[in-house]
Structure 1
């Protein structure tokens, strides 16, 4: 791997992982220094700064190492696709769901640096989500609307905890007020309609720090996996929700799994007075429904561990 790209730029998000990166920065620098590679380490000041520096690196023919969480990786992946560059990852965020699917051990994130020496570049799919106003966002993991979108919105306002603990707290808070809403889901022309707790469209298997919402999703099949959780009571929803961490929720009678290259989601006029439904993708708000989510097959060139099949 080291011979294919002459120079790397490691773009470090110091705020990732609720301060985890900042604490590990000395150890991270030492780990990079031990590699037999030409690597420049840059601590970025913002997401825009990281993207600008990534563009410069790719324009010079170099590779980019994204050091941070799913948000950092999402932003840099978008730049990498446009520039046709190669992205490597050091998963130091609070969720690291995309890195998990790629085969990285989120519990020992610095081992990801080994992939720069003996790993391999592969091409993987990304998702492209477009909201009602035309706003579009590429995403690496899952696009979602409904209960989990509201939980995601609240979780983004919290700084005192992270990862699976944060998302569980967000779930408990949201379930007290959220109720299923009527939506229409069309996957490659096939329609499903009904009241839902959530609709999740997975490019990857996980979101929310290890929740296997679309457990059979693959990053190289050119398809999106869709999980629809229909209208069940609050108690039944809460009792079964933990199954999502193992991916066993798919056998529940209220869960419908779909698969396709194009997914359309629209709110259906109902009698409730709920605010307009939002679409989120890889932890970022895209906009209001109706929305269209499509796959970009083999769009991203990314470095994975040598042990990945």
Structure 2
């Protein structure tokens, strides 16, 4: 079994949770190959080498949605199962998969049980032919703009950086012209939010595509069409309960293939900077085995 921990996740609690998990796994007699690294690129290289050589049959990642994203990209399309020790701030993917959150003992028990679940991934192929996937939600509207703004800030740290980015972006934000192609059907619109959900939630409990399923072979595409800033402020908080879908400006479509086009937008998937638009993606049914 391979183990990959992000020590800085969950306000630096990842290291503690990871060490506890490592001890529990070894106490249970599991041979563990520690693949943790000082940066994501090194972790990916070590993970690919371990999977490619057949050194591991399971990869367990410890951290937040970013680590699950990394693990899914390593394991999707391979026989290696992905285990999750949720130790991040949001933990949306783990929570929506019904996995324990911030509980190393319960997570290890789930991993050792050997139960698995096949889930879909959304796959994007770059112009150079590189394939990347996401497991949860891809953001490509106001939320992505805020993420991009927050990543440009050097102060403050943590969640306050995103709050500041929202305060700076909201007064100047305007609806974005989009072209979407869903299973060959073209849609031209102006929208405040566009999100593609393989799973239901992102951003620490925002159920943006609340009826999305990890194993239905479809992607849920949310479009929040052009509304006033004041109305947007009324609608946006409802995303935490998923009740925003009843608003007349909200539309959710399902598709197997999705193309998004908009100028100046960089998408974020599973909370990670993903790809600039335009981009196309497709659902790959059952591409990933999860220890769940």
Taking structure 1 as the reference length, what is the TM-score of the superposition?
Answer: 0.84
Equivalent position of 1:298 in the other structure: 286
- CA root-mean-square deviation: 2.4
Retained in 2: the 8 A contact 1:125–1:219?
yes
Deviations 1:246-288 (A, max 9, x none): 1110000110110010111123xxxxxxx62222222233333
**Whole-angstrom CA distance in 2 between matches of 1:61 and 1:29:** 15
CA 24–220 in structure 1, closer or farther in 2 if over 3 Å, else same: closer
Task: Find the partner of 1:65 among 57, 60, 66.
Answer: 60
* Structure 2 counterparts to residues 33-112 of structure 1, below 5 A: 33-58=26-51, 59-108=54-103, 110-112=105-107
Retained in 1: the 8 A contact 2:17–2:102?
no
Task: Find the partner of 2:268 among 273, 280, 284.
Answer: 280
**Whole-angstrom CA distance in 1 between matches of 2:127 and 2:277:** 5
Deviations 1:155-199 (A, max 9, x none): 44567334xx76555444432221111112221123332211111
**Whole-angstrom CA distance in 2 between matches of 1:152 and 1:97:** 17
In structure 2, stretches of 5+ residues that fail to align are none
CA 23–166 in structure 1, closer or farther in 2 if over 3 Å, else same: farther
**Whole-angstrom CA distance in 1 between matches of 2:265 and 2:71:** 27
1:160 aligns with 2:148: no
Q: Secondary structure at the match of 2:4?
A: strand
**What's the offset of the Cα at 1:78?**
1.1
Equivalent position of 2:110 in the other structure: 115
Retained in 1: the 8 A contact 2:218–2:255?
yes
Retained in 1: the 8 A contact 2:120–2:285?
yes
Equivalent position of 2:119 in the other structure: 124
Retained in 1: the 8 A contact 2:200–2:210?
yes
**What's the offset of the Cα at 1:15?**
2.1
Bigger mean CA offset, 36-45 vs 283-292: 36-45
Deviations 1:202-244 (A, max 9, x none): 0111111111000000011111001101111111111221110
Task: Find the partner of 1:17 among 10, 26, 41.
Answer: 10
Bigger mean CA offset, 76-85 vs 175-184: 76-85
1:188 aligns with 2:183: yes
**Whole-angstrom CA distance in 2 between matches of 1:76 and 1:26:** 18
What is the count of residue pairs matched by the alignment?
288
Taking structure 2 as the reference length, what is the TM-score of the superposition?
Answer: 0.88
Bigger mean CA offset, 230-239 vs 14-23: 14-23
In structure 1, stretches of 5+ residues that fail to align are 1-7, 268-274, 305-309
1:246 aligns with 2:229: no
CA 75–23 in structure 1, closer or farther in 2 if over 3 Å, else same: same
**Whole-angstrom CA distance in 2 between matches of 1:32 and 1:284:** 29
Bigger mean CA offset, 247-256 vs 129-138: 129-138
Retained in 1: the 8 A contact 2:201–2:208?
yes
CA 135–10 in structure 1, closer or farther in 2 if over 3 Å, else same: closer
Q: Secondary structure at the match of 2:140?
A: strand
**What's the offset of the Cα at 1:105?**
3.1
**Whole-angstrom CA distance in 2 between matches of 1:172 and 1:245:** 19
